[in-house]
Every structure is written in C-alpha cells, then in structure tokens.
C-alpha cells in the first residue's frame, strides 16, 4: 500500500499534537490482511519533523469497503467511522475508552479510518 506524504500530513500532525508535522519516512505493516484489494488493518509508522526536531509516530489505518447497504445492519462496514463522526465515542462511561480518530476519508470506493495507535504490547484481561 502506498501513501502520499500529503495524505499523511494532517494525520501525523494529529498523532503528534503538532500544528505542523512533516512526514519524513514511513512504513505500512499489515496487522489484519484483507482480501487483496487493499482492505484490512495496518500500522503506519515513521518519523516526522516538528519544529526542526525529528519525532517518531505511529497510527492505525483501517481500510473498509464502501459497500451499499443499510447503516443499521450489524455488519455495515462503515459503522465505526460513522460512530466517530457523530461523536458517539467521545463521552463513554468511566473505565471505557476508544482510540482518538485522526481522520476519515473515502478514496476509490474505500473508506480510510485513521486511529490513534494505543501501543504494541498485548494487554492481558482477566475473566
């Protein structure tokens, strides 16, 4: 998957909480491969310049199909993006949270949902 620097500028800026962050280099690593059509979940990470200082960054990119259908269906692929756009995940009960959403766009019949990367360590949950 190829990503243009111009596409990453606003996403990296949000991820680094910087008004101007210039992506210098980046890589895309599949977390959950899709159907070979570019769909899936990916970790996009790299370095950027913020005020002449290099800084590392990492975000999650979900590429979802733009399939027609009812948004009330349980498997409507863009449901998560709509929940973020409508602010439904901003005011959750104590102890429950969602990653920040850095952007949502439709390109070439696919939805791209850019989310905060919460870390790489797997958390163990107790029953």
Tokens 């919460």: give the residue: 118
pLDDT in tens, 6-38: 889 999 999 999 999 999 999 999 998 776 677
Backbone angles phi, psi at 52, to 5 degrees: 70, 5
pLDDT in tens, 52-83: 999 999 999 999 887 666 656 667 778 888 89
Instruction: Give strand pairing partners of 96.
Output: none
Nearest to 14 by CA among 108, 104, 80: 104
pTM (two decimals): 0.85
Please give the helix or strand (H or E) that residue 64 lies within, else none: strand 53-65
Confidence tier at 2 by pLDDT (50, 70, 90):
confident
Measured in whole angstroms, the distance separating CA 67 from the mean position of its chain's CA atoms is 19
């Amino acid at each position: 998957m190829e990503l243009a620097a111009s596409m990453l500028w606003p996403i990296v800026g949000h991820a680094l909480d910087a008004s101007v962050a210039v992506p210098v280099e980046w890589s895309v690593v599949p977390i959950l491969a899709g159907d070979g059509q570019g769909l899936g979940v990916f970790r996009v990470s790299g370095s950027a310049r913020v005020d002449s200082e290099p800084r590392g960054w990492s975000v999650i990119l979900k590429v979802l199909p733009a399939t027609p259908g009812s948004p009330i269906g349980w498997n409507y692929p863009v449901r998560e993006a709509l929940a973020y756009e409508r602010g439904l995940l901003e005011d959750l009960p104590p102890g429950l949270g969602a990653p920040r959403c850095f952007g949502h766009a439709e390109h070439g019949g696919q939805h791209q949902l850019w989310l905060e990367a919460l870390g790489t360590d797997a958390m163990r949950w107790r029953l």
